[in-house]
Amino acid sequence: MSELRGLIFIGAGAMAEAIVRGVVDAGLVTASQVTMTDVRPQRLEQLAAFGFRGERANRDALPHGDVIVLAVKPQDVGAVLADIGPHVTDDQLVVSIAAGVTIATLEAGLGRPVPVIRVMPNTPCLVGEGMAAVARGTHATADHEATVLRLFGAIGKAVALPEKQLDAVTALSGSGPGYVAVLIEAMIDGGVRVGLPRDVATTLAVQTTLGTAKMLSGTGEHPARLKDMVTSPGGTTIAGIHAMERAGVRAAMIDAIVEATERSRQLGAS
C-alpha cells in the first residue's frame, strides 16, 4: 500500500477530522481522495466545503478508498461492522481507533479474513502533536502496518506495538493529557496562591510545560538530567521538588497509570 487510492472514515467527528487534515497537509492524499460518513446533513455540507466527499450511508463510502478507518464510538462498532463487513473487499484495510475494541472483536465482526489494524491515538492529534500506538491484526502485513504508521505519523508520532501492550498505552498516552492537565491546573492555582493574576499564571504554566516537553523531545535527554540542570544547591527548585516528594506526587502518578491500565483491561473484557 505504498500509494493510497483513497481514505474512508466511518464517522466524521473531531478526531477523524484532525487525522484527515494532518494526512492531507502531509501530502499523503488529496482532499478529493477522502470520504467521510455522517448522518447529519449540516456536517455533510461542511465536509463538502472542505473538499471531502460526504456520504450518509457507510456502505456508499466503501468503493472510494483502500483504507477504512472506524472513527465511531466503541458501542457502535458492532453495528458498523455488521453493516460494512459483507461489502469490504480483500484489498481493503480496516483501521479502528475505537478505544477498548480488541482485534479479535473487529475480525469476528467483519466475518472473514480482512486485514485489521487497531490504533490507540490521543487527543493532542487535534493540534498535530498526537501519540499513537499501532497493533497489527492476524491478516495484516508489515506493509499495512507501515501505511498506518505513515498516516498517524502525519499528526504527531506513531509506534508499532503488540496488542497486549495497548492497555498500558491507553493508560499512559491515551489518558495522559488528563494527567498533564491536572498538573498544569495545579501549577496555575499555585501561582494564584502566591499572588499572580490567573491569566498570567496560566500563560506561565502552559508555556513552561510546552517548553519543557519540547526540550525533552528535541534533545533526547532523560527527564532527570533536565531536572538536575535547573536544581541548584539550596535553591528554589529543590525546595519545590522536596515538597512534591513529601506529598508523594511521583508515586501518585505511577499509581494513576497502573490503575488506568487495569481499568482499560476491564473495559476491553466487558
pLDDT value at residue 255: 98
Question: Are residues 120 and 168 in contact, defined by beta-carbon separation less than 8 angstroms?
Answer: no
Question: Are residues 176 and 148 in contact, defined by beta-carbon separation less than 8 angstroms?
Answer: no
pLDDT of residue 19 exceeding 70, the answer is yes
What does the pLDDT average to over 13-40? 92
Cell digits for 138? 492476524
3-state DSSP call for residue 2?
coil
pLDDT value at residue 258: 97
CA 1 – CA 142 distance, rounded (Å): 10
CATH 3.40.50.720 is held by the domain 7-162: yes
The model's pLDDT over 69-111, given as tens digits with 9 standing for 90+, comes to 999 999 999 999 999 999 999 899 999 999 889 999 999 999 8
pLDDT of residue 3 exceeding 90, the answer is no
CATH superfamily name and code, 174-269? ProC C-terminal domain-like (1.10.3730.10)
C-alpha to C-alpha distances, 256 to 18, 90, 149, 179, 186, nearest whole angstrom: 28, 42, 28, 9, 16
Sheet strands (E) in the chain: 7-10, 34-37, 53-55, 67-70, 93-96, 116-120, 130-136, 156-160
CA 186 – CA 47 distance, rounded (Å): 39
The model's pLDDT over 190-240, given as tens digits with 9 standing for 90+, comes to 999 999 999 999 999 999 999 999 999 999 999 999 999 999 999 999 999
SS3 sequence of 30-89? CHHHEEEECCCHHHHHHHHHHCCEEECCHHHHHHHCCEEEECCCHHHHHHHHHHHHHHCC
Question: Are residues 157 and 131 in contact, defined by beta-carbon separation less than 8 angstroms?
Answer: yes
Show me where the domains of the chain are located: 7-162, 174-269
pLDDT value at residue 2: 62
Average pLDDT of the residues of the chain: 94
pTM, to two decimals:
0.90
Q: Are strands 130-136 and 116-120 parallel, antiparallel or unpaired?
A: antiparallel
Biggest distance spanned by C-alpha atoms of the chain: 69
Question: Which neighbouring-strand residues pair with 131?
Answer: 157
CA 64 – CA 191 distance, rounded (Å): 53
What proportions of the chain, in percent to the nearest 5, are helix, strand and coil? Answer: 60, 15, 25
The model's pLDDT over 113-139, given as tens digits with 9 standing for 90+, comes to 999 999 999 999 989 999 999 999 999
